[in-house]
C-alpha cells in the first residue's frame, strides 16, 4: 500500500506565508502490513532533525482501525510534541469538522475533499494522473466536475501558478517552487 500526499504545504490560520507544513495523507485501503514502524521512525527522525519547527500537523484521512492501532504502538516512542501533531479524520463525513475545519479555509477543505474523492475514482482520470497540467476538457473525466484543478485551489492557481515567473525564480532556493513538472509546463507557455 502507499499513501498519496494530497496537500503538502498550507498556511496555518492567521499566517500569510506557510511557516508550518500541514501534510495530508490518504490512508484509504491501508493495511497493517503497510505500517512499518521503521519507516515511521525514519520519517520522524528526518523531520525532527532537519525541520523541527516546520511540521505543523499531519492529517490522516480515512485512517481505519488498523492504522489507529499501529499508531498507538508507534506513538509511545515518539516525542510528545511530535505525536501530538497527528490528527485522524475517519471518513468523508468528518471533513467538515476538526481538524480540517481548524486547519483549512472552506476553499482548501473543499479542494482536499474533491482531490481525495477523485483520486479514489477508477479509472483515474487523465487530469488526476497529469496533476501538474491545467485541466483541459480532454483531461477532465466525467466524475471530475467542471471546476476541480488538481494543481491546487482556484486562489492558489490564480495567485501563484498563473503569475509564477519561471525565469525570475530559476535557481532560486528561497522561493517556494511548484512541482518540477509544473515548472516545465509553465515554461512552455
pLDDT tens per residue across span 6-63: 444 444 444 444 577 788 887 777 766 766 767 767 777 777 777 777 788 888 888 7
What's the pLDDT score for residue 78?
A: 78
If you ran DSSP here, which 8-state letter would residue 140 be given? -
pLDDT score at 138:
55
pLDDT at 146: 52
Helix pair angle (37-50, 65-75), 10° resolution? 60
Q: What is the pLDDT of residue 66?
A: 75
Assigned C-alpha cell, 24: 495530508
Beta carbons of 58 and 87 less than 8 angstroms apart: yes
Q: Read off the pLDDT of each residue in 169-189 and give the average, rounded to a whole number.
A: 82
Partners of 26 in the β-ladder: 61
DSSP state of 21: E
pLDDT at 4: 45
pTM of the model: 0.71
98-112: per-residue pLDDT in tens? 667 777 888 888 888
| CA atoms within 13 Å, Cβ hemisphere of 47 | 22
pLDDT tens digits along 132-172: 888 876 544 455 445 789 888 888 888 888 888 888 888 87
Amino acid at each position: 500500500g502507499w499513501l498519496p500526499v494530497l496537500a503538502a504545504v498550507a498556511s496555518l490560520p492567521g499566517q500569510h506565508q506557510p511557516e508550518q507544513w500541514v501534510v495530508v495523507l490518504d490512508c484509504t485501503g491501508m493495511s497493517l502490513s503497510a505500517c512499518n514502524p521503521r519507516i515511521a521512525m525514519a520519517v520522524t527522525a528526518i523531520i525532527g532533525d532537519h525541520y523541527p519547527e516546520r511540521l505543523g500537523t499531519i492529517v490522516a484521512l480515512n485512517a481505519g482501525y488498523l492504522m489507529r492501532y499501529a499508531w498507538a504502538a508507534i506513538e509511545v516512542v515518539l516525542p510528545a510534541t511530535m505525536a501530538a501533531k497527528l490528527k485522524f479524520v475517519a471518513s468523508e463525513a468528518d471533513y467538515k469538522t476538526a481538524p480540517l475545519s481548524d486547519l483549512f479555509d472552506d476553499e482548501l477543505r473543499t479542494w482536499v475533499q474533491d482531490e481525495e474523492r477523485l483520486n479514489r475514482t477508477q479509472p483515474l482520470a487523465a487530469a488526476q494522473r497529469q496533476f501538474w497540467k491545467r485541466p483541459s476538457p480532454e483531461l477532465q473525466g466525467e466524475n471530475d466536475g467542471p471546476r476541480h484543478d488538481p494543481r491546487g485551489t482556484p486562489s492558489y492557481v490564480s495567485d501563484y501558478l498563473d503569475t509564477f515567473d519561471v525565469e525570475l525564480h530559476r535557481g532560486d532556493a528561497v522561493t517556494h517552487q511548484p512541482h518540477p513538472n509544473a515548472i516545465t509546463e509553465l515554461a512552455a507557455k
